[in-house]
Every structure is written in C-alpha cells, then in structure tokens.
Amino acid sequence: MVLKLMCPKCGRQVKKEDFLGKVCKVCFEEQNPEPMTLKISSIPLCTNCGKIYGHKWLPRKQIWDVIKSNIQFSQDNLYLISYTLKDIIMSGRQGVQANIRYYYKHGGKKIVKTFSKSLFLKTTTCPICGKIKGNYHEAIIQIRYEGKEEPKGVWKLIEQTIRPYEEDNTIAIQDKGYLKTGGYDLNITLKTIANTIVKNLRNAFQPEYKISHRLVGFDMPASKKKYKTTYLLRFPPSNESL
Ligand SMILES: [Zn+2]
Ligand SMILES: [Zn+2]
C-alpha cells in the first residue's frame, strides 16, 4: 500500500514524494509563480547585416548570449540545464522561441522546470549599416608615400587589422581611392576602426603623422557635434629601395 498524506492546503490525498515542502506539488506551483522571467520581449535585428542587439550589436549566432543575459530569477540557487531556440513566425513577423530547462532546490528537493518564451525579432538598421547606406564614414586615412611604389607591408597590415571587423559583418573600409602618384585615401566607416589601423601602422612603420578634425554636423538625439577625422600618414621610402 502506498502511503498518502493529506495536503493541508487543498485537502487532497497525495503521495509523500509528491509533496514539495509542506504542500502538494499543485498547491506549491500556485503559491510559487514561475521563478524565471525574461526582461525582454523582443530583440532588435538589423535586416542589412543580420546582426542582433544585446548590450551591443552582435552576430546572430550569439542570440543565446543575449537571451541569457536577460534572464531574471526570483529564486536563489537556480541552475540552467539546457535550452533550445526555434525560429518561428509570430503574426507574420520573425521571431524565436526559447525553451529553457532549469532547476532549483526547494526544501531539499530538486525542482526541474521548463520556461518558454517567444521573442519578436524587431527589424531595424544597425548604426554601422545606417552609415554605410547613407554613404557616411567617420574617418579618412590618407596614405602617402614617395613615388609610385607602396611601402612593403602597409596594405597587408591594414588588411590584417580590419579582418576581424569584416568577419563580424562590419564593413570597415567603404572606399579606397588611389591617387595618380604616391598614395591612396581610405574611407573608414567607424572612427574606432580608423584609430586601430593608424595605431598599428604607426607602431610598425613610424610614418610622419598628422590628425585633423572637421565639423560636419550635429547629432540631434545625442546632442553632440559630429566630426570627421582625417589621419595623414606619410611613409618614408622603404629600406629596400634606398
Ligand atoms: Zn494541495
Ligand atoms: Zn547592420
């Protein structure tokens, strides 16, 4: 014979192992609402490059990181077990359904639950794609050298520097314009990328260096003046040609 106990809350006869703390499982669920919630109901998605927004714009494959960082617990000692993500259509819009398995301990018992939530992918244009579409670049790097021969390794170093951005779906260089003699101009989408390129070139080649800023407008929402930065790098003739 199976020993049953009466739940003091609902009065049902319930097996001992179906008690959670002092009440039955059903009453326990009623008294303890879902301890897991998500702080977000949508995730911004750039329709141009496919990136999603968490604390910054990230490749789509990092969508779980974005979801995970928005999980809130109302219980201590809550542990994630596994998750699945499924692409879905929500009233004609793209979405993703997250199923998150987790457990927590209550009165010495391990309570396993699955939390499900559907999130909209809110289509938008990320700032970088916005700049590229608007043909806007924050910086220009002017590469200058003697004669027609580009110093060895300069372009290679630039390519190496921008590779991680390109892998990240960020167009670093919008345009490369050759001059008739001795150099080219690079239109760089973001100033931070330009800074990194210039820093690497200066470390490797010690070119003559000049930086200038030109006021190009005013960013209303941020109420900040917008500048375009020009870096001029004049390379000495390479040793081999001396
Ligand atoms: Zn009960
Ligand atoms: Zn984008």
Q: Residues 232, 210: contact at Cβ < 8 Å?
A: yes
Find, among 19, 63, 15, 14, the residue nearest to 42 by Cα. Answer: 63
pLDDT at residue number 18: 83
84 CA distance to ligand 2 middle (Å): 25
**Helix, strand, coil shares of the chain as percentages rounded to 5?**
25, 45, 30
81 CA distance to ligand 2 middle (Å): 32
Q: Which ligand is nearest to the CA of 128?
A: 2
For the chain, domain boundaries: 33-124, 127-241
Find, among 171, 195, 178, 175, the residue nearest to 144 by Cα. Answer: 178
14 CA distance to ligand 1 middle (Å): 8
Residues with CB in 5 Å of ion ligand 2? 46, 48-49, 126, 129
Q: Which ligand is nearest to the CA of 27?
A: 1
pLDDT at residue number 240: 55
Q: Which ligand is nearest to the CA of 53?
A: 2
pLDDT at residue number 236: 85
pLDDT along the chain (242 residues), means of 10: 87 87 84 86 93 92 95 84 95 94 84 92 90 85 88 93 84 84 90 95 96 86 84 82 46
pLDDT at residue number 239: 60
84 CA distance to ligand 1 middle (Å): 32
70 CA distance to ligand 1 middle (Å): 33
pLDDT at residue number 102: 94
Backbone angles phi, psi at 65, to 5 degrees: -60, -40
Strand intervals (E) in the chain: 4-6, 13-15, 19-20, 23-24, 36-38, 42-46, 52-53, 57-58, 71-73, 78-90, 93-106, 109-124, 139-145, 173-178, 183-188, 208-219, 224-235
pLDDT at residue number 101: 96
pLDDT at residue number 131: 82
127 CA distance to ligand 2 middle (Å): 7
